């Protein structure tokens, strides 16, 4: 599929030396990038609840140009942030999803100390605007899912079927997309971005039940989700679990416990 106009999302796991200093340096760096780049919709971090000494980072760029145009006139901020990463870590990884191209790869691969993973989009969509949704407090999901052997194309077709129904019917659904996995050929990474809680609450209705069947039929349910995370505002994780007990499988983080600017998917529109 053509991803040349698709936004870019980056999801990283980084081992940290000093948590307090990292939080301070990340906050300074992310605010600088957010304020200096109109097309940056999100750039925040949290400390991993499942892995001691590890930070999770998430960013969302409107397009390739936004990623490439990030300001670079304060190198001290980048150097301060880089000093917090554990140079002995062999597990640091950044998943780069969406409309990346060779210019994005070249810039990212120049950065030391982390393995960048560039994988193709299997199916779905990512919006480059926030659609004017208010309040602009998104819900972001990401999870790795196992697919039955030989069923990757069928799984992708199921995601496409869902996306094709959701796009015209659910206002505020900003991304429903899955990506192949470099290290596991029978797995995908799924990402969903909701512009606000109402978009989340209305995206599963009786009308989509028939479309969920093919998705579940091609998923390997013997293997649990790995790295399943959600980012939302305070109170929303409890509401999501109350709506569907299966959502308890995600590790939930709130923007109130994150550091960096509050995401704003309407920014730069």
Is residue 215 in a domain? yes
**Bridge partners for 251 per DSSP:** 229
**Rounded-to-integer distance, Cα 152 and Cα 69, Å:** 35
Task: Say what the pLDDT of residue 111 is.
Answer: 72
Residue 261 lies in a domain: no
Whether 44 is covered by a domain: the verdict is yes
Please, is 224 exposed, middle or buried when counting C-beta atoms within 10 Å of its C-beta (0-12, 13-18, 19+)? exposed
When pLDDT is cut at 50, 70 and 90, the band that residue 1 belongs to is confident
> Rounded to an integer, what distance in angstroms lies between the CA atom of residue 131 and that of residue 136?
10
Indicate the pLDDT class of residue 109, thresholds 50, 70 and 90.
confident
The answer as to whether 216 is a domain residue is: yes
Mean pLDDT of the chain: 92
Q: What is the pLDDT of residue 191?
A: 95
d(Cα 130, Cα 59) in Å, to the nearest integer? Answer: 15
The confidence score (pLDDT) of residue 5 equals 85
Between helix 75-82 and helix 19-36 the angle, nearest 10°, is: 150
The pLDDT, as a whole number, for residue 100 is 93
At 267 the pLDDT is 93
Give yes or no for residue 110 having a pLDDT over 90: no
Which residue in 29, 115, 42, 33 sits closest to 80, CA to CA?
Answer: 29
Q: What CATH number did the domain enclosing 246 receive?
A: 3.30.70.100
**pLDDT confidence of residue 137:** 86
Residue % of the chain over a pLDDT of 90: 75
Does any domain span residue 3?
no
Nearest-5° angle of CA 2, CA 121, CA 140?
120
Within 10 angstroms of residue 245's Cβ, the number of other Cβ atoms is 8
Instruction: Kindly report, residue by residue over 183-221, the tens digit of the pLDDT.
Output: 788 899 999 999 999 999 999 888 899 999 999 899 998
| Any domain includes 269 | no
For the chain, the domain total comes to: 1
pLDDT confidence of residue 224: 76
- Using 50, 70 and 90 to split pLDDT, how confident is the model at 9? very high
Whether pLDDT at 19 is above 90 = yes
Asked whether residue 109 is assigned to any structural domain, the reply reads yes
Q: Which pLDDT value is given to residue 107?
A: 84
% of the chain residues with pLDDT over 70: 100
Q: Are 59 and 231 in contact (CB under 8 A)?
A: no
Is residue 154 a part of any domain in this protein? yes
Domain holding 192, by residue range, is 8-254
Greater pLDDT, 2 or 86? 86
Rg of the Cα atoms in the chain:
18
Residue 38 — very low, low, confident or very high, per pLDDT cuts 50/70/90?
very high
Can you give the pLDDT at residue 135?
74
> Is the Cβ–Cβ distance between 224 and 249 less than 8 Å?
yes
């Amino acid at each position: 599929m053509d991803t040349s106009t698709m936004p870019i999302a980056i999801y990283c796991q980084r081992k940290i030396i000093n948590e307090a200093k990292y939080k301070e340096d990340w906050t300074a760096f992310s605010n600088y990038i957010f304020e200096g780049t109109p097309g940056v919709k999100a750039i925040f971090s949290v400390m991993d609840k499942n892995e001691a000494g590890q930070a999770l980072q998430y960013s969302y760029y409107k397009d390739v140009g936004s990623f490439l145009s990030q300001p670079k006139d304060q190198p001290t901020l980048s150097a301060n942030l880089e000093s917090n990463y554990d140079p002995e870590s062999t597990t640091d990884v950044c998943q780069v999803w969406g409309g990346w191209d060779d210019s994005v790869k070249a810039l990212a691969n120049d950065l030391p100390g982390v393995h960048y993973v560039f994988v193709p989009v299997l199916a779905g969509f990512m919006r480059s605007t926030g659609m004017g949704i208010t309040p602009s407090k998104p819900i972001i999901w990401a999870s790795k899912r196992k697919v039955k052997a030989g069923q990757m194309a069928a799984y992708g077709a199921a995601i496409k079927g869902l996306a094709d129904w959701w796009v015209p019917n659910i206002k505020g659904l900003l991304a429903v997309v899955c990506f192949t996995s470099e290290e596991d050929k029978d797995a995908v990474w799924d990402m969903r971005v909701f512009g606000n809680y109402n978009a989340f609450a209305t995206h599963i209705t009786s009308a989509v039940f028939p479309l969920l069947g093919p998705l579940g039929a091609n998923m390997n349910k013997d293997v649990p989700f790995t790295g399943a995370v959600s980012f939302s505002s305070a109170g929303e994780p409890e509401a999501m679990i109350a709506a569907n007990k299966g959502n308890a499988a995600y590790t939930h983080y709130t923007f109130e416990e994150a550091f960096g600017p509050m995401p704003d998917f309407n920014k730069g529109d």
